Structure 1
Amino acid sequence: MSLTRRQTATALLTLPLALTATPALAHGGGAGGPRPRTLHIAGDSTAAAKSADAAPETGWGTALPFFLASHLRVANHAVNGRSSKSFIDEGRLAALLDGVRPGDLLLVQFGHNDEKTEDPARGTDPSTTYREYLRQYVGGARARRARPVLLTSVERRRFGPDGTARPTHGEYPAAMRALAAEEGVPLLDIQALSLARWQQLGPDGTLPLFLWLKPGESPNHPDGAQDNTHFRPPGAVETARTTARALLDEGVLAARDLRRLDDRVPEEWITWDGPAGPAGPAGSAGPA
């Protein structure tokens, strides 16, 4: 991609990319202070920051800073409805990479919308194009001396008649696992970890995590909601905690980089953006 094309693509992103940071990082390192190491998130609506008119829908990227030490920050570039392909085609990866510095991490979680193979703007094939697009994220991070990290897609809430949690992402998680092994990239198997967690909690125990609302419970969803893909604050916190633990378990971060892994995170800590919301549509009740 030429420099002119990158600049043009960046200019086309008229809506700001969502940036999430812990309160302690609002002041950064100060003039002359060390630059905080940044975890950049490229992903879809399961991770994305949400607008106030979508509340209580919450992406796990909003909750991730609660589990990171003060010398780390999160730049959440995830956008509703995007796939590994459309995120690149819209120039969003180019814009993200412009802010990546040596030592940063690029967390990549796509799959929900790659599965929409009937949509040529988003659909990818797990054995071919999905991997080809993911390689661009890996290569882009490495070219900037940052570390790419692949995350399989968090699971939806789906149970069989016998109460068994069922996988919903087809061959995409296996394709990402294979690519991570080929490229020597750390893999956070959030699909497997979340599926196991949903199994532990069961059909009833998972309801408070997802966007299930009774009519009148939320002014933004007057007719209620029965959404088994997107999270309420407890689900975003649960998934962010799982992600933070996986970063530690896979050796991507050290114990000194993390906090609160075993502590309760109050739901009141979750905040939403203004009415215009982050880049891309918000509040969808369909797939991510």
Structure 2
Amino acid sequence: MRPAHAALLLVAAALLGACQTAPSAPSATAENQKPVRIALVGDSTQTERQGYGTGFCANLVERVTCLNTAKGGSSTKTFRNEGLWNRAVQLKPDWMLIQFGHNDVQTGTRGVRETDLVTEYTPNLRRYVEEARAAGIQPILVTPIARRYFQPDGKIRDDLPAHVEAMKAVAAEMKVPLIDLHTISQDFFEKLGETEAHKLGPTKSDGKGGIVPDKTHFNLEGSHVLGRMVVEAMGRAVPELAPLVRKTPAAR
């Protein structure tokens, strides 16, 4: 593991507090050795190529089958309309981490992606929870990861507050475990600072011949840092899943 990568993981652990120690090794009982299937359901920030999916799956113990069904550009509307939700359910995971928001606020897409907060986004989340449970799947809601939109004062401009609160409300109403990744990641990025936080992502063209940071997605190092963060947060949100977290961060 590169020194910079190790240092970032130490910062994340210090910031989150609850990650001070890795979960203790499970006893060698039949229940603790039972295979578990966990699926990621969401947009590009969960995928293997642009999101934390690679790092998330790498930080689970071997008895976990990690199923990444996330797709770039997905919103709560398009993930269903494109048949992705049905495919995810048919994989029959034991647990599902459901994360949407970035594309639900994506304007200018001719009504394809964006959703109304009250009449679509919130009901869509409820429906996902209901249908997952009906299929014998246990859902976990994950608030959308923060974008790295730094302001001059070093704080991040939050572009998703209403959707974050809506998801929290659905989780409370339906008694669904919640990972508040939005708050966790925003606090982490601000602690790192703009320069270091942007090192966790790729670059892209600014359309004028220049190169600028991609403030939404992640490179391989970012995937491992954020993936580890999500796995540990999952173990705190659902204590019975804590033994599924690798004792030490996975190497790149």
Q: Which TM-score bucket, shorter chain as reference? A: 0.7 to 0.9
**In the alignment, is the contact (CA less than 8 A) between 2:97 and 2:141 conserved in 1?**
yes
State the match for 1:83 in structure 2: 75
Which of 45, 53, 57 aligns to 1:61? It is: 53
Q: Give the drift of 1:174.
A: 0.4
Q: Give the drift of 1:136.
A: 2.1
| 1:196 has 2:187 as partner | yes
Aligned to 1:191, the other structure's residue is in SS state: helix
Distance 2:152 2:138 in 1: 42
- Deviation per residue, 1:27-54 (Å, 9 max, x gap): xxxxxxx87311111111111133xxxx
Distance 1:183 1:251 in 2: 15
1:1-288 matches, cutoff 5 A: 36-50=35-49, 58-101=50-93, 104-119=94-109, 120-212=111-203, 224-261=211-248, 263=249, 265-266=250-251, 269=252
Unaligned runs of 5+ in 2: 1-32
Distance 1:76 1:223 in 2: 33
Identity of aligned residues (%): 33
**In the alignment, is the contact (CA less than 8 A) between 1:166 and 1:195 conserved in 2?**
no
Aligned to 2:192, the other structure's residue is in SS state: helix
Aligned to 1:160, the other structure's residue is in SS state: coil
Distance 1:118 1:213 in 2: 21
**In the alignment, is the contact (CA less than 8 A) between 1:117 and 1:124 conserved in 2?**
no
Distance 2:197 2:90 in 1: 38
The count of corresponding residues between Structure 1 and Structure 2 is 217
Distance 2:43 2:69 in 1: 9
TM-score normalised by structure 1 residue count: 0.70
Q: Give the drift of 1:127.
A: 2.4
Q: Give the drift of 1:168.
A: 2.0
**In the alignment, is the contact (CA less than 8 A) between 1:100 and 1:141 conserved in 2?**
no
Distance 1:60 1:150 in 2: 16
Unaligned runs of 5+ in 1: 1-33, 51-57, 215-221, 270-288
Distance 1:212 1:240 in 2: 20
- 1:83 maps to a residue whose letter is S
- 2:89 maps to a residue whose letter is L
- Deviation per residue, 1:187-236 (Å, 9 max, x gap): 1000000000001101111121011379xxxxxxx974521111111211
Q: Give the drift of 1:123.
A: 0.8
- 1:179 maps to a residue whose letter is V
Distance 2:232 2:87 in 1: 28
**In the alignment, is the contact (CA less than 8 A) between 2:236 and 2:242 conserved in 1?**
no
Aligned to 2:215, the other structure's residue is in SS state: strand
TM-score normalised by structure 2 residue count: 0.80
Q: Give the drift of 1:100.
A: 1.1
- 1:248 maps to a residue whose letter is G
Which range moves more in the overlay, 74-83 or 230-239? 230-239
Runs of 4+ with >3 A deviation: 222-225, 252-255
